[in-house]
A = this chain, B = another copy of it.
Amino acid sequence: MTDAATPSVEGGGYSLPSPYLLFLGDNTEPGFAKTAFGLRDWAGDRCLGEHALPAATVSTGLERMTPAAAAARGARSMVIGVANQGGVIPPSWMPELLAGIAAGLDLVAGMHTRLATIAPLREAAAARGTRLIDLRVPLSGLPIATGRRRTGRRLLTVGTDCALGKKYTALAIARGLSARGVDATFRASGQTGIMIAGEGIAIDAVVADFATGAVELLSPDAAPDHLDVIEGQGSLFHPAYAPVSLALLHGSQPDLFVVCDQPGRSGILGTAGYPVPSIDAVIEQTILLGRLTNPAIRCAGISLNTDGMEGTAAADLIAATGKRLGLPAADPIRGGAAFERLLDACQR
């Protein structure tokens, strides 16, 4: 069933108009505002301000403004920057979302509940001529992958599991290399990444037959010295998400990959009886499978998410991991000399 509301490749895919007004709802739990914080930290130049209900206690620190005021100052979309239990839109948000539409802003969301399924929003947006952009809606018009080798260089972040730093690592590498003058582009493969980059494709929301083709589209031919830094998803060792990870590996045909791991995590998220694989196993499997579309694939280094560890203990673990594997290892959040060595390896 195709319909006019379905985003298509021909229609520009998920391309998000900015600047954004970040919507925080009535959120009181910082953990649920990670999207808004990520946008502030990684896409500050795309964020004009924030809007929240009086009950909200969480803030990004950006200037507070109403949708009408934001629109008057050039905002083009209102991005829902908070999640809540169950991924639904509470009734208390509705007047604010409708105010955003009335102000002429597009609404952007990556939640399970789709904006376009909520009749009052759909009708208001149609009447005002604005868009409801649901980043989890499968794109139409995607190609089947060809496997053709593309020009330019590519780096993919892969993981021992999901939700442990693949997006953050890709962003930090792209930013770090750009600061060194390298022509590097972050390529977003998930909802939050797309909001940060302003474009991209949510690969996990693509129909399986087209998943690899979508990744090929995400990282097109480029100049020989250009480096695409592609946000990975899931893990080849995750019993639910490995096909998404394989689509990213085959489609991005990376020259380099960085393995992301969270020390201390023992079980694969959301499963029972699936241990987190060793970094060594992930390196081996990634090379074995990645060789299909890029025989020269190799591991550039390791990104450790040492969040919550004491500084010296983290530094020791990073050093020991790098030494054991003979590869640069770093925590991009901690940065420092270790991260500079990881950037050196990504630049080679």
Contacts and interface: CB of A to CB of B under 8 A. Distances in A.
A129 to B, nearest CB: 18
A211 B2 CA distance: 21
Contacts of A270: 144, 146
**In which size bucket is the chain A interface?**
35 or more
Nearest to A293: B239
A315 interface: no
Contacts of A145: 239-240
Contacts of A2: 114, 117
Contact of A212 (B114, B134, B206, B242): B242
A6 B203 CA distance: 21
B242 A148 contact: no
A292 B236 CA distance: 10
Interface string A226-263: 00000000000101111110110010000000000000
A5 interface: yes
A271 B209 CA distance: 15
A240 B144 contact: yes
A279 B137 CA distance: 38
A285 B290 CA distance: 13
A53 interface: no
A55 interface: no
Nearest to A209: B204
Q: How many copies of this chain are found per oligomer?
A: 2
Contacts of A114: 1-2
Interface string A260-298: 000000001011111000000000010011001100000
A208 interface: yes
A43 interface: no
A147 interface: yes
Interface in A111-145: 114, 116-117, 134, 137-138, 144-145
Contact of A240 (B134, B213, B244, B273): B213
A3 interface: yes
Given A6-B1, A242-B246, A271-B146, A207 B205 contact: yes
Interface of A: 1-3, 5-6, 114, 116-117, 134, 137-138, 144-148, 203-209, 211-213, 237, 239-244, 246-247, 250, 268, 270-274, 285, 288-289, 292-293
Given A205-B208, A206-B208, A237-B292, 10 more contacts: A1-B114, A146-B272, A147-B271, A204-B208, A209-B240, A212-B240, A242-B292, A243-B244, A243-B246, A288-B288
10 contacts: A1-B6, A1-B116, A1-B137, A208-B208, A212-B240, A239-B292, A239-B293, A242-B246, A243-B244, A243-B246
